[in-house]
Amino acid sequence: MQGSDFIKIAVIGAGASGIMSAIFSKTENTEVFLFDGNEKIGKKIYISGKGRCNITNSKEIYEFFDEINSNKNFLYSSLYSYTNEDILKFFNDNGLETKVERGGRVFPLSDKSNDVNKALEKALNSKGVNIILNTEIEDVKLVGEKFKLVCNKDYGLFDKVVFATGGKSYPFTGSRGKGHEILKRLGHTITDLKAGLVGIDVKEKVRKYSGVSLKFVDFKIYNTNHKLIHSEFGELLFTHTGFSGPIVLKSSKYFDNSKDSIVSIDLKPKINHHTLDQRLLREFDQNKNKCLKNVLSNVLIGAMVELVLEKSAVNGEISVNQLSKDDRKKLVETIKNLEFNFNSLRPLSEAIITIGGVSVKEVNSSTMESKLIKNLYIVGELLDVDANTGGYNLTIAFSTGHLAGVSCIEGE
Ligand SMILES: Cc1cc2nc3c(=O)[nH]c(=O)nc-3n(C[C@H](O)[C@H](O)[C@H](O)COP(=O)(O)OP(=O)(O)OC[C@H]3O[C@@H](n4cnc5c(N)ncnc54)[C@H](O)[C@@H]3O)c2cc1C
């Protein structure tokens, strides 16, 4: 089928970004090979959004830039040339029905991430992309102006190559940093790689609260001079060694492993100290002879009663009428300010996203082509870009992948 007029394109990595590059670079004049080391496409998509895949967000596209943490200017061309609406149209056209949930997060109607992969696979097949699985690309060599892929078989020379090898988190999905290594050898700069959207460990022992989820709390980060660094309201999860959950993941960028900081959880953020004190007084008045810890469970969930008593060093076994005013104040203070000492971020392997990657200074934001090597394109999480949770990271992958795909065939 291949004549000499064909442009031969290799896309390395069949994740969200690479799949889009492959689909949009395939025309009747191109032959596209999509390589992945895995036995199937979209392994990270499969585990994304807790198996439901938060594909994109329904916000206006200009609002996406408030959610991007690194190098947002670099993403203007890609996000505006292939918006969240384009992404949704693409998926709907390929048989995926979607729904919008809280915060504008878009999911498949079926709640199954695998249906996202099925839609992508359908598009790849209908375009006629060659999907080459179980094939790890070990290296890419420049041969004149063409590219040779070093892997388990000889695929000949390629006119264009798209790097879509992802970041370095959740390595079992295939993103282990091989793309970074190859591009570094080819002269690209890789900025420091750090864990993004990740849980934290604290110095205190919290194991016995592991699994406890708190829905409407304030999570505050202070430096050692007690200056407030960041505050986030929402859902938090106790882990074996610290905290995770949406507000912790979102706040993780404000921690630095080399710096001490203090985290404080306000269990009753909607009411001030005085109102909380009045609330406790009312409860205590109505239950004078009852055991303090039982009465507190009218105000707090069970596990938090234990933690608040432990932290405030107030004896929960006494009856309410034995409680001193000072101890009541201590309870109020502790409920409003449960303090822990930050120890470290969880490792990159557990992070939702990799912060850092190929320096965007070396990539043309209007095409995704390398500024150092002609006909080489770099997309997705492999780049030094990252965003908050809410469907923004997949949007970056889809949009940058699309832009590289169409750029590969521009003018052909
Ligand atoms: C647990 C979890 C949940 C997430 N949930 C969401 C969510 O709901 N919404 C959202 O927007 N974002 C989410 N993200 C982030 C999002 O999934 C990623 O940012 C996005 O998938 C990145 O796509 P990518 O194509 O750049 O890289 P990847 O999806 O990592 O794909 C890279 C591919 O390249 C392949 N590869 C790597 N090196 C080679 C090589 N040398 N040779 C051949 N193949 C290679 C890998 O096998 C892999 O398939 C989540 C991430 C995680 C870890």
Residue in the block written with tokens 């100290």: 273
Judgement on whether residues 228 and 334 belong to the same structural domain of the protein: yes
Judgement on whether residues 101 and 157 belong to the same structural domain of the protein: yes
Question: What integer pLDDT is reported at residue 396 of this predicted model?
Answer: 98
CA 127 / ligand 1 centre spacing (Å): 22
Amino acid at 400: T
CA distance to 164, 260, 345, 349, per residue, from 175 (Å) = 10, 31, 20, 10
Closest to 26 in 3D by CA, of 173, 126, 113, 170: 126
* 3-state secondary structure (DSSP) of residue 370: strand
Judgement on whether residues 141 and 189 belong to the same structural domain of the protein: yes
Rounded CA-CA distance 381/277 in Å is 48
CA 384, 166, 28, 159: dihedral to nearest 10 degrees? 70
Pick from 300, 330, 346: which residue ends a domain?
346
Judgement on whether residues 359 and 342 belong to the same structural domain of the protein: no
Rounded CA-CA distance 94/144 in Å is 39
Judgement on whether residues 244 and 173 belong to the same structural domain of the protein: no
Ligand 1, atom 52: nearest CA belongs to which residue? 352
Which atom number of ligand 1 is nearest to the Cα of residue 177? 38
Judgement on whether residues 19 and 158 belong to the same structural domain of the protein: yes
Return the HEC string of 32-98.
EEEECCCCCCCHHHHHHHHHCCCCEECCCHHHHHHHEEECHHHHHHHHHHCCHHHHHHHHHHCCCCE
Supply the DSSP string of 178-196, one letter for each residue.
HHHHHHHHTT--BPPPEEE
CA 45 / ligand 1 centre spacing (Å): 7
The alpha helices in 148-272, defined as continuous H runs, are: 178-185, 246-251
Judgement on whether residues 340 and 355 belong to the same structural domain of the protein: no
Question: What integer pLDDT is reported at residue 4 of this predicted model?
Answer: 58
Closest to 106 in 3D by CA, of 48, 65, 148, 164: 48
Query: Percentage helix, strand, coil, to 5, in the chain?
Result: 40, 25, 35
Judgement on whether residues 77 and 107 belong to the same structural domain of the protein: yes
Q: At what angle do helices 16-25 and 113-127 cross, to 10 degrees?
A: 20
Within a domain: 362: yes
* 3-state secondary structure (DSSP) of residue 309: helix
Rounded CA-CA distance 8/147 in Å is 10
Within a domain: 26: yes
Rounded CA-CA distance 280/259 in Å is 37
Judgement on whether residues 248 and 274 belong to the same structural domain of the protein: yes
Ligand 1, atom 39: nearest CA belongs to which residue? 165
Rounded CA-CA distance 385/369 in Å is 16
Within a domain: 2: no
Q: Answer yes or no: are the C-beta atoms of 397 and 381 closer than 8 Å.
A: yes
Residue in the block written with tokens 């109102």: 275
CA 360 / ligand 1 centre spacing (Å): 19
Q: Answer yes or no: are the C-beta atoms of 387 and 355 closer than 8 Å.
A: no
- Select from 19, 48, 152, 395 the residue to mutate for testing ligand 1; criterion: most ligand atoms less than 8 Å from CB: 48
Within a domain: 291: yes
Find the domain containing 107 and state its range: 7-194+351-408
Within a domain: 106: yes
Within a domain: 1: no
Judgement on whether residues 131 and 159 belong to the same structural domain of the protein: yes
CA 50 / ligand 1 centre spacing (Å): 14
Within a domain: 242: yes
Residue 80 is part of a domain; what is its CATH number?
Answer: 3.50.50.60
DSSP code at position 16: H
Within a domain: 272: yes
Q: Answer yes or no: are the C-beta atoms of 203 and 224 closer than 8 Å.
A: no
Ligand 1, atom 6: nearest CA belongs to which residue? 48
The CB of 43 under 6 Å from ligand 1? The reply is yes
* Strand-pair partners of 230: 221
Per-residue pLDDT 10s for the chain (412 aa) are: 444 578 999 999 999 999 999 999 999 999 999 999 999 999 999 999 999 999 999 999 999 999 999 999 999 999 999 999 999 999 999 999 999 999 999 999 999 999 999 999 999 999 999 999 999 999 999 999 999 999 999 999 999 999 999 999 999 999 999 999 999 999 999 999 999 999 999 999 999 999 999 999 999 999 999 999 999 999 999 999 999 999 999 999 999 999 999 999 999 999 999 999 999 999 999 998 999 999 999 999 989 999 999 999 999 999 999 999 999 999 999 999 999 999 999 999 999 999 999 999 999 999 999 999 999 999 999 999 999 999 999 999 999 999 999 999 986 6
Which atom number of ligand 1 is nearest to the Cα of residue 395? 11
Judgement on whether residues 140 and 229 belong to the same structural domain of the protein: no
Task: Give 2: exposed, middle or buried? Use CB within 10 Å, 0-12, 13-18, 19+.
Answer: exposed
The alpha helices in 94-171, defined as continuous H runs, are: 113-127
Ligand 1, atom 24: nearest CA belongs to which residue? 166
Amino acid at 153: K
Pick from 308, 328, 346: which residue ends a domain?
346
Number of folded domains in the chain? 2
The CB of 161 under 6 Å from ligand 1? The reply is no
CA distance to 234, 328, 338, 388, per residue, from 308 (Å) = 19, 12, 7, 31
Judgement on whether residues 188 and 49 belong to the same structural domain of the protein: yes
Rounded CA-CA distance 308/299 in Å is 11
Amino acid at 357: G
Pick from 302, 319, 346: which residue ends a domain?
346
